[in-house]
Amino acid sequence: MYRLWHSLVLAPVLVGSIALSASAQERVTSIDEISNPTIKGQVTSVSQLSDVRPTDWAFQALQSLVERYGCIAGYPDRTYRGNRALTRYEFAAGLNACLDRVNELIAASTADLVKKEDLASLQKLQEEFAAELATIRGMVDSLEARTTTLERQQFSTTSKLTGEVIFSVSQAFGADRAITSDQQRVVDAAATPAARTAARNAATTGSATNSDRNVRENTIFANRVRLAFDTSFTGRDRLRTQLQARNITAFSGTGAAGITGTNMTRLGYDGTNNNSTELRRLEYRFPLGEQTTVFVGTGTNDGLEFNDSIPTLSPFESSGGGSISRFGRFNPIYRSSSGTGIIINQRLGREFTAGNKFTLSVGYLVPTADAQDPSVDRGLFSGSYAAVGQLVYQPTPNLGIGFTYANAYYSTGSGITGSTGSAFANNPFGSNQTLNSAGNVPTITNQFGLQANIRFSPGLVLAGWAGLTDAKATRTIGATAATRTVREGDRATIFNWAVGLAFPDLFTEGSLGGIIFGMPPKVTSSDFGLATPTAISARREDRSSSYHLEVFYRYRLNDNISITPGAFVVFNPEGNSANNAIYVGTIRTTFTF
């Protein structure tokens, strides 16, 4: 008897309207999910005022159907809560559930399980309760329509605010600021000690009489704030609107105002807009089927980035929780461009198949300043860009190997290595950084990257990369053959590599230790220079290798706070063995919420 009572008071129509996510045909199996319906229609028959009692034929007939076909499960605790009479609408709700169940059996070609006498009983009950069934089904249609309208008109189904705040205390240490190999040749060619001092002053500060050549050893306290509003419309997609404010000065720069004289000493999370608010990223991520994910985005400064959407296989990638240095985070090939564009990740097979071990990624990014400008040599397809393709093979969760190729065009000839290496590696043909200026050399590059990640144990990961870039000048600079320093078609080769050991959960769960050693990008060979070079003429080729050694430890205080003390040193900065080593130390505190 208890199964009948509980089945009758269920009203699937109301459950479907309350949940807003289930189909109107989904049958409710628990009385606790609903409340009794309120019927506001006009009463047209005295019989509609009569309750259906347990002693009535209709009650007993429906009870038999419930027990035979399992229309309704009843209360979750399967307790009996009284032999009570039902209103005709409560009874019709239970009848509707049984009709749905019998229809399911017939549709599934199991009609032989339904007895003829039960079909006869159902037909008779339908006739007797036709008005109530029509009312309930009308309510379903109305609520379905309202639900559909609501889902279409509301801005988002789910929205979430996440944030990251970094406080950083940092300082650079060293003797003289770094100078390039070309500048060093001028110093070495000076005939007297006084002349060499003047040449070194001029190379470092821009003035032969300014002897203030030291690294700026001032401690700074700075911050970076990122707030992201993540909105989902389907439950599988994500619209991210990320705001940013920051004031972390880069430890780099040349001339009298320079800090270290090289980009090799930059922190992995630096950048400044004087703590004004900017739209860092506007990104929409959505799936295409089960195997494909698409990223479309834009933004100020950073915008869409390859490293945020394509697997880098680096355990040091996070700017807020990974390497403290710019070079140490991941292969510089992922910095070939950023801004506006599209990135697609495609898993090549389904789960438990061989293809599932391969992930193919392709992307096309344009600096936002170019993407939004219709001027000559600008726009989505006429200005700077980078097109990237990558194949990652992960035969096991503990091993990953990635092969990356990037074809890029730099309309100003600068930014090739993402400010991670020497000045020559970032700008191999010495072009001015102003579009269409007299000394500008637009540059095309073919870049190749190899990345690997091996997890020997839960607490030990070996990772590394190597990168090779072939850069080609697309413009000739110089009025005559004797004075030309760049000829269209000149090439430069750039190389870098790094290896690192990561120690996940070191000492405490969620912490991370890291040791990184590598060679920042350097120009190993170049066609740049006069046809007949002199001892002091520019060649834009690094004569030595720089080396980067880094140690950090991210200590997790709790789920929302981590503290990362760390330090790194660059030997032979700017690919010049005459430069003194430069050291950088920092304590990075990261809050996430």
Taking only the tens place, the pLDDT of each residue in 329-355 is 999 999 999 999 999 999 997 665 666
What was the pLDDT predicted at 286? Answer: 97
Tell which wins on pLDDT, 58 or 172: 172
Q: For residues 1 and 219, which has the higher predicted lDDT (pLDDT)? A: 219
Question: What percentage of the chain reaches a pLDDT higher than 70?
Answer: 86
CATH class of the domain defined by 226-242+277-592:
mainly beta
Question: So what's the pLDDT on residue 16?
Answer: 32
CA-CA distance, 230 to 163, in Å (whole number)? 11
- The conformational region for residue 289 under phi > 0 = left, psi -120 to 50 = alpha, else beta, is left
Q: Quote the tokens at residue 538.
A: 């520019």
Cα distance between residue 300 and residue 52, in whole Å: 68
Q: What is the mean pLDDT of residues 197-223?
A: 96
In the chain, CATH 2.40.160.10 covers 226-242+277-592
Whether pLDDT at 368 is above 70: yes
Task: Please measure the distance between the N-terminal and C-terminal CA atoms of the chain and give it in whole angstroms.
Answer: 52
Q: Please state the rounded mean pLDDT for residues 304-332.
A: 98
Does 110 have pLDDT greater than 50?
Answer: yes
pLDDT at site 84: 67
Residue 122, pLDDT > 90, answer no
Instruction: Say how far residue 205 (Cα) sits from the centre of its chain.
Output: 40
Least confident of 129-133, 368-372, 535-539: 129-133
Please state the rounded mean pLDDT for residues 393-406: 97
Amino acid at 140: V
As a whole number of angstroms, the distance between CA 35 and CA 114 comes to: 31
Helix, strand or coil, per DSSP, at residue 13: helix
Neighbours of 301 (CB within 10 A): 17
Lowest mean pLDDT segment, chosen from 125-129, 166-170, 395-399, 497-501: 125-129
- The band of 154, judged by pLDDT with boundaries at 50, 70 and 90, is low
Q: Which residue has the higher pLDDT, 526 or 57?
A: 526
**What is the helix (H) or strand (E) element at residue 188, kind and residue range?**
helix 181-189
Window from 18-32, 179-193, 419-433 with minimum mean pLDDT: 18-32
299 φ, ψ to 5°? Answer: 155, 170
454-478 mean pLDDT: 97
Q: What is the pLDDT of residue 336?
A: 97
Is the confidence at residue 75, as pLDDT, over 60?
A: no
What is the pLDDT averaged over residues 147-154? 67
Output the pLDDT for position 20.
30
Output the pTM of the full model.
0.75
DSSP letters, 419-476, are TSS-HHHHSTT---SSTT-TT---EEEEEEEEEEEEEEETTEEEEEEEEEEEEEE-S-
User: At a CB cut-off of 8 Å and minimum separation 6, what does 16 contact?
Assistant: 22, 23, 24, 26, 28, 140, 143, 144
Greater confidence (417 vs 68) lies with: 417
User: Which residues, in sequence order, are CB contacts of 254 under 8 Å at separation 6+?
Assistant: 177, 261, 423
**Is residue 438 pLDDT above 80, yes or no?**
no
pLDDT of 531-545, one tens digit each?
899 999 999 999 999
pLDDT of residue 109: 62
Strand 278-288 to 304-305 pairing = unpaired
* 33 has a pLDDT exceeding 60: no
Q: Flag whether pLDDT at 28 surpasses 90.
A: no
Question: Residue 77: pLDDT band by 50, 70, 90 thresholds?
Answer: low
User: Tell me, what's the pLDDT at 252?
Assistant: 97
Token pair 């006869």 is found at 120
SS3 content of the chain, % helix, strand, coil (to 5): 25, 35, 40
Give exposure, 483-519, as e/b (b: 16+ Cβ within 10 Å): ebbbbeebebbbbbbbebbbbbebeeeebbbbbbbbb
d(CA 436, CA 428): 17
Nearest to 96 by CA among 136, 69, 147: 136
Q: In degrees, to the nearest 5, what angle opens at C-alpha 53 toward C-alphas 49 and 58? A: 90
Mean pLDDT over each residue of the chain, to the nearest integer: 87
Q: Which H/E stretch holds residue 60?
A: helix 57-69
pLDDT band at 152; cut points 50, 70, 90 = low
User: How deeply is 401 buried, as exposed, middle or buried, from its count of CB atoms within 10 A (0-12, 13-18, 19+)?
Assistant: middle
Lowest model confidence (mean pLDDT) among 204-213, 279-288, 368-377: 368-377
